[in-house]
Structure 1
Amino acid sequence: MRLTSFTDYGLRMLMRMASAPGRAFSTAELAQEFALSRNHLAKIMQRLAQAGLIETRRGGGGGATLAQPAEGIRLGTVVRLLEEGQPLVECFGSGGACGLDGRCRLKSRLRSAEAAFFADLDGATLADIALTPLRAA
């Protein structure tokens, strides 16, 4: 399974926030750290904020922080949220046409693999993958 860059960067942002709980991260700071456009990052932040995973504050001292402890954020939840509308294969999507309907045995295998993928992610939390703070040399 290949995740979209939207999900990849969303997970990276959350991992970074989990490494310093309570610290606010500005969009500019994270965009520079990940070499990503601020506009793209803002879209990801908006989706995470709408889902209640992060909180954002404007102005001086503002930025984004985790809205709940990293131990309570399941990776499967995050990936489902950020991959919403991105089916594993075309025939899983709404209106996905398949010329093999009734004869295709691949679809059930892929559904099973997708379920196993999410089951594994559901067993892990953001705390499990939080970045280890860098130590001064």
Structure 2
Amino acid sequence: MRLLRSTDLALRVLMRLAVTGENPQVTPTTRAVAAAMEVPYTHAAKVVAELQHMGLLETRRGRGGGLALTGAGRAASVGAVVRAFEGEGDVADCEGGAAPCPLSSACRLRGALRRAQEAFCRSLDPLTLADLVTEPTGPLLLGIPVRA
């Protein structure tokens, strides 16, 4: 299974904020996070907006503003974040393209792939951001320069 770019970025943003959250003086901006993660600002802004909508992070404008994890963000299940960004769609695009798959009415693969996708997310459910940023990941994340 391959994650969408937005899912990958959401997890990386949350992980970065989880380690900087230990220092309240460091509140990176969306632009700074985008630069540190080497992604377009517009892409990072969409992901940050969705994470804010989900209640996982808060944004503050103006002097001293930036991004910070909420309590819900610190306790968030990685599986729940992946589900939210990946959506309810099927792994295989059985109805897309010029001609839909002729097996779509009796295909067993589609259901098997859906079950595998859910098993993948279920395996991530017990993980929290805190689990992801323990040694050696946390110190490595702190080494990525992000300027407020």
TM-score by length of 1: 0.84
Match of 2:17 in 1: 17
SS in structure 1 at match of 2:87: coil
SS in structure 2 at match of 1:123: coil
Shift of 1:17: 0.4
Q: Which of 78, 82, 96 is the equivalent residue of 2:81?
A: 78
Q: Over residues 19-76 of structure 1, what are the superposed CA-to-partner deviations in whole Å (9 max), with x where a residue is unaligned?
A: 1214422112111111111111111000000010100000111111111165511001
Letter of the 2:30 partner, please give it: T
Superposition pairs of residues 112-131 of structure 1, within 5 angstroms: 112-130=115-133, 131=137
- Rounded Cα–Cα distance in structure 1 between residues aligned with 2:105 and 2:32: 51
TM-score by length of 2: 0.79
Q: Does 1:3 align with 2:3?
A: yes
Letter of the 2:121 partner, please give it: F
Letter of the 1:28 partner, please give it: R
SS in structure 1 at match of 2:139: coil
Which runs of 5 or more structure 1 residues have no equivalent in the other structure?
none
Q: Which of 58, 61, 64 is the equivalent residue of 1:61?
A: 64
Q: Does 1:132 align with 2:138?
A: yes
- Rounded Cα–Cα distance in structure 2 between residues aligned with 1:70 and 1:112: 27
CA RMSD of aligned residues (A): 2.3
Which runs of 5 or more structure 2 residues have no equivalent in the other structure?
144-148
Q: Over residues 73-131 of structure 1, what are the superposed CA-to-partner deviations in whole Å (9 max), with x where a residue is unaligned?
A: 100111111122653222499xxx54213432212211221121011011211111124
- Rounded Cα–Cα distance in structure 2 between residues aligned with 1:110 and 1:132: 33
Following TM superposition, where does structure 1 have runs of at least 4 consecutive aligned residues deviating by more than 2 angstroms? Answer: 84-87, 133-136
